[in-house]
Structure 1
Amino acid sequence: MSGSSSAAPTDASVPQGSDRPSLPRRVRDTVLAYIALTKPRVIELLLVATIPVMLQADRGEVELPLIVFTLIGGWLGAGSANTLNMVADADIDQKMKRTARRPIARHAVSTRAALIFGIVLGFASFAVLSLAANLLSALLVLATIAFYVGVYTMILKRRTWQNVVWGGAAGCMPTLVGWAAVTGSLSWEPIVLFLVIFFWTPPHTWALAMRYKEDYKAAGVPMLPVIATEERVTRQMLFYTWATVITSLVLIPATSWIYLAVSVLGGGWFLSRVHKLYSETRAGAEVAPLKVFLQSNEYLAVLFCGLAIDAVVNMKTIADFF
């Protein structure tokens, strides 16, 4: 016979084109979703702020193990705060194009799982810092998480345009944590650096909010660019930028000519960009606020890197000349 009933089954008998991803891919996607909950790019600020402050707290010395463990503890704390922020903001994240792909918003991670993950990260952060550094630094991280989630996310964000003004204090805490990890106490220097980031946060955030104004409006978040004219927004940005630069100069006596040059030149560079945005807005010209957003990142990185270099080189400070 030319055919046989014992022939191998045809391809039609095997499921074709299954949309179910393979196990390795599902594991990878899940891991990436949990990493995304921590907002890795936001945590860059932790690195920019913490390391230079720790070096300044112990000028001329580099305690690498302490720096590494402080960064790990700080990263866990920031990851906890960011995750819990996404849990609280899951409803509005779904309404904004900029945030619609976040893990909870696209149901890659359940709200309950994210909540547990965020709490676990917070406890892990406390454990690492209390064991590797000291209790003060660990308590400061817990205070940061509580403030960011409880005060900024759950109270300020949806109620007032000053949300990022006061809520931004959470992003300044790495300066205090880094200093406390080295010295076990606080002093005027980390407070100055805290204020630098505090004043820097509004123009940095409002520049981004100007670009995504319609997103915030759709989500019912009263960011300043949503409720005010562009001229008023840029005028406020200019005020806070001047406050940022002036505050950065207060640290000069505790540093050498390296930080002095970086803070003056970098501050002038940042101010020129924000002044340009304000002038263009007043003239009714088309503006590019994202340029300010990007340059604000670069300014802060340059300023704190200058501080790190200054601390490691450990030259005679300006105050020593008087």
Structure 2
Amino acid sequence: MHNFALIGSAGYIAPRHMKAIQSTGNNLVAALDHSDSMGVIDSFFPDADFFTEFERFDRHVDLLRRVNDGREVHYVSIASPNYLHDSHVRFALRSGADAICEKPLVLNPWNIDGLREVERDSGKKVNTILQLRLHPAIIELRDKVKSQSRVRKYEVDLTYITARGRWYLQSWKGDEKKSGGIATNIGIHFYDMLHFIFGRLCENVVHYCSPTKVSGYLEYENAHVRWFLSVDEHDIPLPSLSAGHRTYRSITVDGEEIEFSNGFTDLHTLSYEEIISGRGFGLEENRVAVETVSEIRNATPQGIKGEYHPFLKR
């Protein structure tokens, strides 16, 4: 049994980490969040120590390491706001624990280089949650792409709309300096997926960007990709919206829909199984996606011209 600590334990994604820790037969010994709305932890680890101040959490994790009574932390899971990931990964490594970090690992590519130095100095490992790489439908598509020899690249349309209320722009997620913007916050795992399936990134164009939506064109070694991301419910196609759906997810390859909506909730547990077995995704697996969103964030939108996503016409 391994001991875990969890940073960002009151957040949206934290219960998936708690479930993954529990389902893999491990124990959560300490949790940290500035919010004390932590009733969810009772369903998983009611005996875990909980802190709302990082300084007390830091002292506690250090004490567990020094006492050497079997409660020392082996893994620190990180589900805090995006801009804090870099700092919290460093804390994990310097505390003598491996890190398991939610995406995005960092906001800027050069932060990966800094983490590599800390990883080398500490002798510990940075693992990341890139769960789409473990999705059976995505693996099947990747294997198909790798097995086929084509003169023409695949034509791909990626659309992801997840409606958010007015709170979104008032939270850290609406602050580009903290979240990295829409492309980083809700899209980085899709960019990693595209790189994982279609290979090297060759071109990155942004057509439109606002606080609630962003769209552009990516060319990979084996695909042309038009993409559209949004948190605006008005972008959801009317049939889905009328049916009460607040999320719309679609990826088509050469006009054929790829179904990968099912199975999302268990991929964190599978990710933990892979990490504990020594097969986790490390720093370099994140580089292309982090570079992609960094370029998107700093690009000048070109407007509706060229290979733009059809949703932009709406």
Greater fraction of residues in strand: 2
TM-score if structure 2 supplies the norm length? 0.31
Greater fraction of residues in helix: 1
Larger Rg: 1
